[in-house]
Amino acid sequence: MKEKILLLCPAFSNYHIAIKSKLIDMGYEVILEDGIKYYNKVKKYSKTHLETRIYSKKILELKKEWNEYLLEKYSKIVVDYLIVIKGDSLNENFLTDFRKSKLQTRFILYQWDSKKAFNYKYLLPYFDSCFSFDSNDCEEDDQLEYLPLFFLDLYNMNTKSSDLTNDLFFVGGNLVITSKTGTIGYNGILNFIKAHTTKSFYKKRDDLLYEIICNNRYSFDFIIDGGHGKYKDIKGFNYISDRISHKEITDRLKVSKVIVDMNTPWQSGLTMRSIETLAAGKKLITTNENVKKEAFFDNRNILIFDPYKTNFSVSEEFVNSDFIATNMNNYSLESFLKRLLS
């Protein structure tokens, strides 16, 4: 008989679907709850950090309703594993009651947010195993085990040099990247005010992308989620309003030599994009110094830049030299899930 998994994972760029599909391929029976009903309701009251504070009571009411729904729907279903990704939709009452109804179930928590973005400390006592992609959080909390993110199988590609028609590629949201305290909660509002009085304090990702290309003569394809931006008239800066598919990303990534990745200032964990980049056999430019800790780190493939400095330059040797083959098998989705369930 197949072991059964209840997977509570928020919908995000179809990664939740990929996780479910891979678990099924590995021989498990999987029930996926993506929480989209809950998140769509909450979104109405939390479009900004200020709204989140104003409507905090309403959001708690929605969470209570959602947890009651989960308990009623799943408390009588027998499962071998409960896997929770993030878990920001769960409250302690649900976890207490659900734990009582699942005495034989192994509870597993995975965080792809840092504690600075989402303080999930209250969740930890309810789980048998707790993992995080954020190495700093893991070093500070012995309840957490470090487990980096993964790449999907479609990123494991072979590219011929004749296919490479673009030098630099970026895809991501146009977030604030140089605020050392981040843009979370009340501090985020203060940072926003400072941003409009101290230009050097406040840079978005498109500012940094511009700094990279203005000092170099490289072709580039920058897809920036966030509507219109200040560089919209420069060919290669492509501002979009909706997410693009993995297929479109991989098509554009395939013809590019180097991928630019920028992590948010309040997390140390590697982004999905950085791991996908190396799995695809592409070079990486990143703001995340923690990449040095990974087994795959090779400065011939990875260039780290400091977003707080100006006049960052990318050498032609780095862009045009061949990618040095590296083994990324331990970062595949299947390896990730095996670690989670081990």
264 and 169, same structural domain?
yes
Mean of per-residue pLDDT scores for the chain: 88
* CA-wise closest residue to 42 among 31, 29, 56, 30: 56
Whole-angstrom distance, CA of residue 85 vs CA of residue 132: 10
Q: SS3 for 25-59, per residue? A: HCCCEEEEECCHHHHHHHHCCCCCHHHHHHCHHHH
Tell me what pLDDT residue 309 has: 74
The answer as to whether 143 is a domain residue is yes
181 and 316, same structural domain?
yes
227 and 136, same structural domain?
no
The answer as to whether 104 is a domain residue is yes
Tell me what pLDDT residue 50 has: 56
Domain coverage including residue 96: 4-147
Tell me what pLDDT residue 47 has: 66
Give me the CATH number covering residue 272. 3.40.50
Give me the CATH number covering residue 64. 3.40.50.2300
The answer as to whether 247 is a domain residue is yes
Tell me what pLDDT residue 193 has: 44
pTM of the model: 0.89
192 and 256, same structural domain?
yes
267 and 130, same structural domain?
no
The answer as to whether 338 is a domain residue is no
224 and 126, same structural domain?
no
Domain end call among 147, 180, 203: 147
Whole-angstrom distance, CA of residue 132 vs CA of residue 110: 6
139 and 47, same structural domain?
yes
Are 200 and 180 contacting, i.e. CB atoms less than 8 angstroms apart? no
Q: Are strands 4-8 and 283-286 parallel, antiparallel or unpaired?
A: unpaired
Tokens encoding 305: 């830049």
274 and 190, same structural domain?
yes
Number of domains in the chain: 2
Q: Which residues, in sequence order, are CB contacts of 302 under 8 Å at separation 6+?
A: 278, 283, 284, 285, 286, 291
- Per-10-residue mean pLDDT, the chain, length 342: 95 95 98 94 74 76 95 95 96 95 96 90 97 96 97 87 90 70 43 45 79 87 86 93 87 95 87 95 94 96 85 89 94 98 94
For residue 300, how far is the Cα from the chain centroid?
A: 25
Helix ranges (H only) for 196-236 are 205-214
69 and 123, same structural domain?
yes
141 and 230, same structural domain?
no
Tell me what pLDDT residue 52 has: 65
Tokens encoding 240: 């979009």
* CA-wise closest residue to 83 among 56, 102, 58, 57: 102
239 and 120, same structural domain?
no
Tell me what pLDDT residue 109 has: 98
161 and 125, same structural domain?
no
